[in-house]
């Protein structure tokens, strides 16, 4: 078939024998299909590109629960909570609970929780920290529990900073008395605060090395993206703890079904000193029940070391 025949417009096909018309039509269809596939591939690559995916669709990682029956329980270890409200950078009103240890010299734990539920789902962790001799301030991100606003991933950092500022500016607590506690995705804002404030210590519980690294482990497709296209925010905990930091405790359940315990081990290997690692052999992502005593003992040793 001549080149001229291939370049004839579709309306001229009727002037050619049937076989030639079929051949030309198939080539046109194939060319159209290849173009369409290329457009779909490029569109998919752009849509799932980590900085775009997290900037515009990052809220899919957040699963807030409204306030429920758990908010009726206001006493832990005989200590009544102080129900507080404060503003974040966006003007939303955030809700938090402050449990004051009777010991005025007790460290203050600023607790940034995971991506699901709300503060009422962490009552057992609050009790563990109080059993270990700490005061606890736990807060809800925007749209969680009684906090107002609309969830978004970058906002988690702003909410954490606002909680820190509440402790320092409103309660007049010295940063050097504050221990940052990051559970799961809460490890991201915790490491961010650690890099910007001089605090007493840091606890990372069931968290990851970075959003990009854990995404590649969970969904191999993300390996097609280079390192210079990180999520926004990147929550690069591994890089943060490689730098100079206060005493660090890394906790992880070895049966974690959400974030593999290898993430904790990678963080521990990468972290600079001082550091401690507490692996809980029978604990999953949200259940420390079988290792609860070991967990509390590890907290107590770290907080009073």
pLDDT at 9 over 70: no
Q: Are 42 and 82 in the same domain?
A: no
This prediction's pTM: 0.86
Alpha-carbon distance of 36 to 119, in angstroms, equals 48
Six-digit token pair at 149?
């606003």
Q: Are 33 and 138 in the same domain?
A: no
Q: Are 69 and 30 in the same domain?
A: no
Per residue in 206-262, pLDDT (tens digit) is 999 999 988 888 888 777 878 878 888 999 999 999 999 999 999 999 999 999 999
Per residue in 56-82, pLDDT (tens digit) is 777 889 999 999 999 998 899 999 999
Q: Are 69 and 194 in the same domain?
A: yes
CB-CB contact of 145 with 151 (8 Å) = no
Q: Are 31 and 175 in the same domain?
A: no
What is the crossing angle of helices 153-165 and 187-196, to 10°?
A: 50
Alpha-carbon distance of 76 to 63, in angstroms, equals 25
Give residue 11's pLDDT.
55
Cβ contacts of 188 within 8 Å, gap of 6 or more: 156, 157, 182, 207, 211, 233, 235, 237
119 closest CA partner among 134, 100, 104, 99 = 99
Confidence of residue 1 (pLDDT cuts 50, 70, 90): very low
Averaged over 131-140, what is the pLDDT?
97
pLDDT at 150 over 70: yes
Phi, psi at residue 180, to the nearest 5°? -85, 130
Give residue 20's pLDDT.
73
Residue 132: give the domain boundaries.
64-303
Q: Are 42 and 78 in the same domain?
A: no
Confidence of residue 268 (pLDDT cuts 50, 70, 90): very high
Alpha-carbon distance of 135 to 86, in angstroms, equals 19
């Amino acid at each position: 078939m001549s080149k001229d025949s291939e370049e004839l417009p579709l309306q001229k096909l009727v002037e050619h024998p049937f076989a030639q018309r079929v051949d030309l039509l198939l080539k046109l269809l194939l060319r159209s299909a290849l173009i369409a596939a290329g457009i779909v591939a490029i569109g998919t690559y752009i849509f799932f590109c980590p900085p775009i995916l997290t900037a515009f669709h990052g809220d899919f990682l957040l699963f807030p629960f409204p306030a429920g029956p758990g908010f009726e329980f206001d006493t832990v270890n005989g200590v009544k909570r102080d129900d507080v409200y404060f503003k974040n950078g966006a003007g939303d009103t955030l809700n938090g609970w402050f449990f004051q240890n009777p010991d005025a010299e007790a460290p203050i734990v600023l607790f940034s929780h995971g991506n699901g539920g709300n503060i009422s789902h962490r009552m057992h962790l609050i009790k563990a920290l109080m059993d270990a001799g700490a005061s606890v301030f736990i807060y809800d991100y925007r749209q969680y529990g009684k906090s107002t606003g609309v969830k978004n991933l970058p906002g988690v950092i702003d909410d954490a900073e606002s909680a820190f500022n509440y402790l320092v500016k409103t309660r007049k607590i010295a940063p050097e008395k504050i221990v940052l506690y990051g559970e799961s995705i809460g490890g991201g804002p915790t490491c961010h605060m650690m890099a910007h404030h001089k605090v007493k210590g840091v606890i990372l519980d069931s968290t990851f090395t970075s959003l990009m690294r854990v995404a590649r482990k969970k969904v191999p497709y993300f390996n097609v993206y280079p390192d210079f296209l990180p999520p926004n925010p990147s929550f690069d905990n591994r890089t943060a703890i490689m730098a100079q930091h206060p005493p660090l405790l890394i906790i992880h359940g070895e049966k974690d079904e959400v974030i593999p315990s290898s993430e904790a081990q990678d963080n521990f290997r990468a972290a600079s000193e001082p550091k401690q690692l507490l692996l809980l052999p029978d604990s999953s992502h949200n259940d420390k029940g079988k290792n609860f005593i070991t967990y509390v003992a590890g907290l107590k040793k770290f907080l009073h070391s």
